[in-house]
């Protein structure tokens, strides 16, 4: 199997996750839905630690939700108990109320899996999509620019 | 939002799943990784109940694995606690060792989400893909034909 | 290891659960927190199917919660992928707002694990315990009586 | 409700866990089986980071398992999304092949929940309990002593 190299862009938001006993299946590798749970945790941490928005406040306080509208994922190299894997979040497109991000899971410079995710910002009360507030949009766009090496939007 | 109608082809493998408290998040809707867990359960039941292969035996006895290579999923209508949702499995393509299936989650004739999944058959010992055994391939092809209304492969 | 026999009392609420790939850990047996998730599902089904109270309505509609206050569990015989295990719910004590139940997991007349659980009925809004409504209390007491072979309370 | 204070003994193994969206249920609080998953993670980290035994190696390499034999847990104060909770592990008794530990979940000096757990060391191949190796036993006993303020065993 061809290995895909991956070096996160400078400044990209990356978090390490230890692969635990509880993540692994009888075949000894990560049971795949756990990756999606890790992705959700990464997005939470990105909002809170990188963008400066408290994710819990956005949801429980302001009553916004960020449901996934679309996800696709290629699984390339399995992970085993005891591995420490890295997850990097990159922004691909900022829509009116939607956000397209990529999450790459990698270790030692090799891609293990790669996901593309579209989320939408929703009002939980009105149960419909709302435009991303300008300040949040600016924070995301600033992150996108500083992690794409100056590429035009 | 446009609603997508879905009527499972006659003979298609469909199972109902109650949406439980434990599936739902603080926004009151199914936390999406649980859908992927439901998909895995559906595939297990399809092997055992429709194809006549005991999934547990294939894995624990024969030491085969069926890891996901690719998945993509569109989330269209959220599900809430107390809903009974239906999952239908359709075969799209049978490769040498891979299988491309679609899983549609629907209720009252309306699509709620739709996933496309590619799995590969692996030897857990050798840690590499193995060709689908002919009898299993035949069982899957027969299912595919009788659930696609006579369409050519 | 001594085996503990278990025959559910006549009329006791019992549901079967298939042990799935996703329940099992790298040691090939059920990862124990999944049992607690099964217990919660059993309690939901018991409210809805046995007591005639729609559990989803109680929570989402009437804004009640039934948090666990105490749980204890003895794990006696591990379960493996492909096993069909049975879960039986018995009522031990009905308090003012609390309920003590036992859940026994068994197969072929042998106990696999046994849990004792105390739940309390809470108002989600007021965030405090509320007395069990009389009609619900009566339904639970009736269930208790008909599954304890005439024993006095 | 009476609040229970908790100050971990000096040197006790404590890890913080952020309460995530994915941990919480429609009532907005941690769905209780997730606590048990957190306990398992804490035990893993304790073996690896405190005792100096690589937990993944013990399981996947040496083919040992540490199944739970008994657990009991009192839930005192619920936790909500965005909380950072602390988990402290204490050793209560070291048996021949079993280990009794307590795990206290606390925040700001107040106990949120408290669990007592008995695990046994098993050979996964022989499927029976094995005595704790002397070096591991010594490491655990040393931890017990230095976290119980000189109390006799």
Amino acid B91: pLDDT: 98
Using CA atoms, how far residue D140 sits from C71, D13, D116, D149, in Å, is 27, 12, 16, 15
**What percent of chain B lies above the pLDDT cut of 70?**
96
Say if residue D23's pLDDT is above 70. yes
The yes/no answer to whether this complex scores an ipTM above 0.95 is: no
* CA–CA gap between residue C92 and residue C99 (Å, rounded): 8
pLDDT digits (tens, 9 = 90+) for A105-116: 999 999 999 999
Region D45-57 average pLDDT: 93
Quote the minimal CA–CA distance from A34 to chain D in Å: 11
φ, ψ at D7 (rounded to 5°): -120, 120
pLDDT digits (tens, 9 = 90+) for C85-142: 999 999 999 999 999 999 999 999 999 999 999 999 999 888 889 999 999 999 999 9
pLDDT-based confidence at B28, cuts 50/70/90? confident
pLDDT digits (tens, 9 = 90+) for C15-63: 999 999 999 998 889 999 999 999 999 999 999 999 999 988 888 888 8
Quote the minimal CA–CA distance from B63 to chain D in Å: 16
Quote the minimal CA–CA distance from C20 to chain B in Å: 7
pLDDT-based confidence at B152, cuts 50/70/90? very low
Amino acid A36: pLDDT: 97
B60 vs C81: CB contact, 8 Å cut-off?
yes
Using CA atoms, how far residue B88 sits from B118, C74, C127, D140, in Å, is 16, 38, 40, 51
Amino acid C1: pLDDT: 56
Cα-trace Rg, chain C:
16
**What percent of chain D lies above the pLDDT cut of 90?**
81
Q: Which residues pair with A93 in a beta bridge?
A: A100
Amino acid A150: pLDDT: 52
Say if residue A152's pLDDT is above 60. no
* CA–CA gap between residue A25 and residue C21 (Å, rounded): 7
Say if residue C2's pLDDT is above 90. no
pLDDT digits (tens, 9 = 90+) for B92-128: 999 999 999 999 999 999 999 999 999 999 998 888 8
> Which chain B residues touch A34 with a CB distance below 8 Å?
33
A21 neighbors D55 (Cβ within 8 angstroms): yes
Tell me if chain C has a CB within 8 Å of the CB of A25: yes
Amino acid D152: pLDDT: 47
Amino acid B12: pLDDT: 98
A40 vs D54: CB contact, 8 Å cut-off?
no
A104 neighbors A114 (Cβ within 8 angstroms): yes
DSSP C30: B
pLDDT digits (tens, 9 = 90+) for C134-148: 999 999 999 999 998
Residue that is written with structure tokens 């405190």 in the block: D50
Q: Which residues contact B142 (CB under 8 A, 6 or more apart)?
A: none
pLDDT digits (tens, 9 = 90+) for B42-80: 999 999 999 999 988 888 888 888 999 999 999 999 999
Amino acid B153: pLDDT: 45
pLDDT-based confidence at A27, cuts 50/70/90? confident
> Which chain A residues touch D81 with a CB distance below 8 Å?
56, 59-60
On the 0-12 / 13-18 / 19+ scale of CB atoms within 10 A, C123 is middle
Say if residue A151's pLDDT is above 60. no
C25 vs A28: CB contact, 8 Å cut-off?
no
B25 vs D28: CB contact, 8 Å cut-off?
no
pLDDT-based confidence at D120, cuts 50/70/90? very high
C81 vs B56: CB contact, 8 Å cut-off?
yes
pLDDT digits (tens, 9 = 90+) for A80-136: 999 999 999 999 999 999 999 999 999 999 999 999 999 999 998 888 899 999 999
Say if residue C151's pLDDT is above 80. no
Which pairs with CB-CB distance under 8 Å and at least 24 residues apart come from D93-100? D94/D132, D94/D137, D94/D140, D94/D141, D94/D144, D96/D131, D96/D132, D97/D121, D97/D122, D97/D129, D97/D130, D97/D131, D97/D132, D98/D69, D98/D129, D99/D66, D99/D132, D99/D140
Region D61-85 average pLDDT: 93
B59 vs C37: CB contact, 8 Å cut-off?
no
**CA closest to D23 among chain B residues:** B25
B32 vs A60: CB contact, 8 Å cut-off?
no
Say if residue A28's pLDDT is above 90. no
**CA closest to C78 among chain D residues:** D67
Amino acid B149: pLDDT: 65
B75 vs A68: CB contact, 8 Å cut-off?
yes
DSSP B23: G
pLDDT digits (tens, 9 = 90+) for B8-26: 999 999 999 999 999 999 8
Q: Please tell me chain B's helix, strand, coil percentages from 3-state DSSP, rounded to the nearest 5.
A: 25, 35, 35
Strand order in the sheet with B128-129: B64-65, B122-123, B128-129
> Which chain A residues touch B69 with a CB distance below 8 Å?
74-75
């Amino acid at each position: 199997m061809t290995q895909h190299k991956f070096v996160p862009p400078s400044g990209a938001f990356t978090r390490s996750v230890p692969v635990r006993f509880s993540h692994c299946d009888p075949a000894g590798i990560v049971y795949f839905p756990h990756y999606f749970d890790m992705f959700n945790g990464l997005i939470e941490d990105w909002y809170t630690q990188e963008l400066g928005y408290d994710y819990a406040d956005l949801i429980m306080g302001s009553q916004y939700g960020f449901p996934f509208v679309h996800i696709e994922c290629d699984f390339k190299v399995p992970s085993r108990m005891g591995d420490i894997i890295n997850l990097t979040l990159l922004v691909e497109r900022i829509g009116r109320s939607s956000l397209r991000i990529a999450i790459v899971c990698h270790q030692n410079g090799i891609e293990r899996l790669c996901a593309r995710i579209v989320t939408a910002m929703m009002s939980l009360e009105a149960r419909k999509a709302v435009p991303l507030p300008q300040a949040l949009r600016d924070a995301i766009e600033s992150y996108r620019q500083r992690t794409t090496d100056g590429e035009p939007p």
